Amino acid sequence: MNSETKQLIEKANQVYQENHPNTCWFGRCIFLSWYCDLGTCKFCFRSTIKHKIRYAKKAKRTTESILSDAVIGKVMGWKLEFLTGGYGIFSFEEILEIIKKVSQVYEEKIWINLGVLEKEQLEQLKPYVEGICASIETVEPNLHSQLCPDKPIEPYVKMLKLADKLGFKKSMTVVIGLGEQKEDWNSLSKFIEENRLDLITFYALKPVKGTDFDKSPEVADYVWWIAQTRIKFPKLKITAGLTPKKVDYTEMLLKAGANAITKFPVIRKFATAEAKLIEELVKKSGREFNSSLVEIPSIDWAAEVKKHGLGEKVLEKVLQNVENMEKNISK
What integer pLDDT is reported at residue 246 of this predicted model? 86
Domains of the chain are: 3-330 (3.20.20.70)
pLDDT reading at 46 higher than 80: no
Place 230 in a pLDDT band, splitting at 50, 70 and 90: very high
The DSSP code sequence of 226-266 is HHHHHHH-TT-EEEEE-BTTB-TTHHHHHHTT-SEEE---T
DSSP letter at 45? G
pTM above 0.85, yes or no: yes
DSSP letter at 30? E
pLDDT reading at 52 higher than 60: no
Lowest-pLDDT choice from 55-59, 77-81, 205-209:
55-59
What integer pLDDT is reported at residue 249 of this predicted model? 95
